[in-house]
C-alpha cells in the first residue's frame, strides 16, 4: 500500500513525488515515456536551448556594432543545434531519474490505467494507494481542418513536438496560431533566416497579455519580417500550401512546413473510470488541487488552468501538503508567465485592462523604458520596458509586465513583492545595484509613488 501514487512524471508529478517522500510518504510514480514530461522533453527546455543558438547567431550578425569584425563566413550547423538540444534534455532527464531514486520513490515505466481512486494498473500489475495525484499532462491540439490528417502523415504539418526534430531549417514556415508557442517558434526560425507567416484568427497576437506587451512584441516580429495575417481562418491544408479566408477573401499560402500552435488538450483517457468532474475539457480542481473525488488530486496541464511547468510544480507541492492535513492554496494571480523572444517577456498579476475593470478609477500605472537604462544601452538591449500597475490607495502592486533581455529573471522580484502584498514604495526603498536592468524596476516604482528620476 502506497501513501501516494503519482500518475505522470512531468514537472508536476516528479516534484510532488519528491516532496511527498521528503514528508515521509511511501510513493510510487508512473510514467509512460520519459521523466520530465512535455516541458523537459519536448517543450520548455529544448525550445530554449534552440533559441539560445538562434540568439547567439543573431548577436554574431550584429557583432560589428560592438566593435568586433568577423572575417570570413559563419553558418548555422543545424545538426549540431539539434544534437546540443538532445544532450541538454538527456542530461536533465537523467537528473530527474537520479533524484527520484535518491528519494526512494518506486518508479514504474508504463501506461497507468486507473481502476478506481485507490488502484492503478501498470504493466499488468495492480498497485494500491491512499491518495492519487493525476499529472497526466497534455498533447498538442490538432485542428479540425480539411487535409489535416494527410498533412500530418506526410510530415508537412507539425506540432511543437515534431518541429523539434526537423531535419533542416525551412525556407518558408507557416504558423497557425499567434499564442506564446507560435510566437517563440516564429522568433526562432525568423532569426535563422526562415520566412515566417503567422495565421491569427483574432485581431492581435498574444491576446491574453497586456496591450503594451502585445504592441512591443508585434514590432519585434515586424523587424524580423514575420508576416502576421490577422482575422484569418485556415480552411484547408494541402501538400505544400494552405488555404485561408481573411476579409471574405480566399487566399493560398505556400510554404515548406506548417506548424500548428492552437493550444493543448489535457490527457484524460487513462482516468475515465474515476468519473471526475470535467470543466472545459480538463479535470476541475479547487485551489487546494482537490478534484470532485475525495483523495484524488490533479496538477499541471491536466487541470487546464495555467499550463506552465512552474505552476504544475507548485500545484503538485500544494496537493501533497494538503494530503498531510494542510490548508495550502494556490493564488494563480501571483503566478508569472514567461516568453523567450528577443527581447524576453515576463509578467505577473493583472493586465492594464483587467485592472481597470477590477479597480475602476483606483489604479496607478507607471511604465519606464529601457532606452534610458545604462546596462541596457551598454549591452545593446535598449528595446523594452518595465510596467507596474498599483492601487491608488496603498500603492500595492497588482500587476507587472516586463519586456527586456532578462525579463524572465527580473520578474521573480515582482512575484515576491506581490506574494508579500508589497507596495511600490517598498520597492523604491530596496537598494538595487548599478548598472543593472533591475534599476528600471525601481524607476517604474518611483513613477507610482512620485516621479521617476532618470527620465
Segments of the chain with pLDDT less than 70: none
β pairing state of 119-122 and 125-134 = antiparallel
Second-level CATH architecture of 148-262: 3-Layer(bba) Sandwich (3.50)
Q: Three-state DSSP class for 164?
A: helix
Are β-strands 344-349 and 397-404 bridged in parallel, bridged antiparallel, or unpaired? antiparallel
Contact 273, 126 (CB under 8 A): no
Q: How far is CA 11 from CA 182, 330, 334, in A?
A: 22, 16, 19
Q: Which architecture does CATH list for 343-449?
A: 2-Layer Sandwich (3.30)
* Active-site pick, 401, 406, 432, 434: 434
pLDDT of 72 reads: 84
Distance CA 340, CA 444 (A): 22
Neighbouring CB atoms inside 10 A of 58's CB total: 15
User: Beta strand 241-246 with 232-237: parallel, antiparallel or unpaired?
Assistant: antiparallel
* Half-sphere exposure for 344 (CA within 13 Å, toward CB): 18
Distance (Å, rounded) from C-alpha 257 to C-alpha 151? 10
Phi, psi of 304 (to 5 degrees): 65, 15
Mean pLDDT (the chain) is 97
Beta strands in 135-267 (DSSP E): 138-140, 157-158, 172-176, 195-199, 227-229, 232-237, 241-246, 249-254, 257-260, 264-266
* DSSP 3-state of 213: helix
User: Which of the 8 DSSP states describes residue 310?
Assistant: H
Query: What are the beta bridge partners of residue 391?
Result: 363
Query: What residue has cell string 503594451?
Result: 212
Place of cell 498579476: 349
Model pLDDT for residues 24-40, shown as the tens digit of each residue = 999 999 999 999 999 99
Cα 97–chain centre separation:
23
Return the pLDDT at 180: 97
Which 3 state secondary structure label does DSSP give 251? strand
Closest CA to 19 of 111, 157, 133: 133
Q: Residue 320: count other Cβ atoms within 10 Å of its Cβ.
A: 30
Determine the pLDDT at residue 191: 97
Say if CB 263 and CB 178 are below 8 A apart: no
Query: What is the pTM assigned to this prediction?
Result: 0.96
The span from the CA of 176 to the CA of 259, in Å, is 6
Query: Cα–Cα distance between 322 and 327 in angstroms, integer?
Result: 6
Q: Is 314 a catalytic residue?
A: no
Beta-bridged to residue 241, according to DSSP, are 254
Q: Domain 2-140+265-333 - what CATH class?
A: alpha beta
CATH 3.50.50.60 intervals, the chain: 2-140+265-333, 148-262
Give Dmax (Cα) for the chain.
68
Domain with CATH 3.30.390.30 in the chain: 343-449
Amino acid at each position: 500500500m502506497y501513501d501516494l501514487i503519482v500518475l505522470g512524471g512531468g514537472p508536476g508529478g516528479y516534484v510532488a513525488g519528491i516532496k511527498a517522500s521528503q514528508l515521509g510518504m511511501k510513493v510510487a510514480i508512473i510514467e509512460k515515456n520519459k521523466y520530465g514530461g512535455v516541458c523537459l522533453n519536448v517543450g520548455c527546455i529544448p525550445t530554449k536551448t534552440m533559441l539560445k543558438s538562434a540568439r547567439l547567431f543573431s548577436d554574431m550578425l550584429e557583432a560589428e556594432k560592438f566593435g568586433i569584425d568577423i572575417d570570413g563566413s559563419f553558418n548555422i550547423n543545424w545538426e549540431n543545434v539539434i544534437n546540443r538540444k538532445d544532450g541538454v534534455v538527456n542530461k536533465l532527464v537523467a537528473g530527474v531519474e537520479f533524484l527520484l531514486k535518491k528519494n526512494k520513490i518506486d518508479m514504474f515505466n508504463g501506461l497507468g490505467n486507473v481502476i478506481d481512486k485507490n488502484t492503478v494498473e501498470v504493466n499488468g500489475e495492480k498497485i494500491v494507494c491512499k491518495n492519487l495525484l493525476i499529472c497526466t499532462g497534455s498533447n498538442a491540439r490538432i485542428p479540425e481542418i480539411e487535409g489535416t490528417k494527410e498533412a500530418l502523415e506526410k510530415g508537412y504539418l507539425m506540432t511543437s513536438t515534431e518541429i523539434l526534430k526537423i531535419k533542416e531549417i525551412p525556407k518558408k514556415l507557416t504558423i497557425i496560431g499567434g499564442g506564446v508557442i507560435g510566437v517563440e517558434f516564429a522568433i526562432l526560425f525568423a532569426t535563422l533566416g526562415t520566412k515566417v507567416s503567422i495565421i491569427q484568427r483574432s485581431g492581435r497576437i498574444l491576446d491574453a497579455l497586456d496591450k503594451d506587451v502585445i504592441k512591443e512584441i508585434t514590432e519585434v516580429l515586424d523587424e524580423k519580417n514575420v508576416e502576421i495575417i490577422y482575422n484569418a481562418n485556415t480552411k484547408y491544408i494541402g501538400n505544400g500550401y494552405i488555404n485561408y479566408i481573411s476579409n471574405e477573401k480566399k487566399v493560398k499560402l505556400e510554404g515548406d512546413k506548417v506548424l500548428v500552435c492552437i493550444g493543448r488538450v489535457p490527457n484524460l483517457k487513462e482516468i475515465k473510470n474515476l468519473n471526475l468532474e470535467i470543466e472545459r475539457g480538463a479535470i476541475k480542481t479547487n485551489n487546494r488541487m482537490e478534484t470532485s473525488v475525495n483523495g484524488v488530486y490533479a496538477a499541471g496541464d491536466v487541470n487546464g488552468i495555467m499550463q506552465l511547468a512552474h505552476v504544475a510544480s507548485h500545484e503538485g507541492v500544494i496537493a501533497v501538503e494538503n494530503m498531510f492535513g494542510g490548508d495550502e492554496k494556490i493564488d494563480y494571480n501571483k503566478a508569472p508567465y514567461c516568453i523567450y523572444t528577443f527581447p524576453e517577456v515576463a509578467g505577473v498579476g493583472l493586465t492594464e485592462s483587467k485592472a481597470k475593470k477590477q479597480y475602476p478609477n483606483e489604479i496607478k500605472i507607471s511604465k519606464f523604458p529601457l532606452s534610458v537604462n545604462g546596462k541596457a544601452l551598454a549591452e545593446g538591449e535598449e528595446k523594452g520596458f518595465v510596467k507596474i500597475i498599483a492601487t491608488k490607495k496603498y500603492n500595492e502592486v497588482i500587476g507587472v509586465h516586463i519586456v527586456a533581455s532578462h525579463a524572465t529573471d527580473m520578474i521573480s522580484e515582482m512575484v515576491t513583492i506581490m506574494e508579500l502584498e508589497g507596495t511600490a514604495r517598498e520597492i523604491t526603498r530596496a537598494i538595487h545595484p548599478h548598472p543593472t536592468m533591475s534599476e528600471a524596476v525601481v524607476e517604474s516604482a518611483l513613477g507610482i509613488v512620485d516621479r521617476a528620476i532618470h527620465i
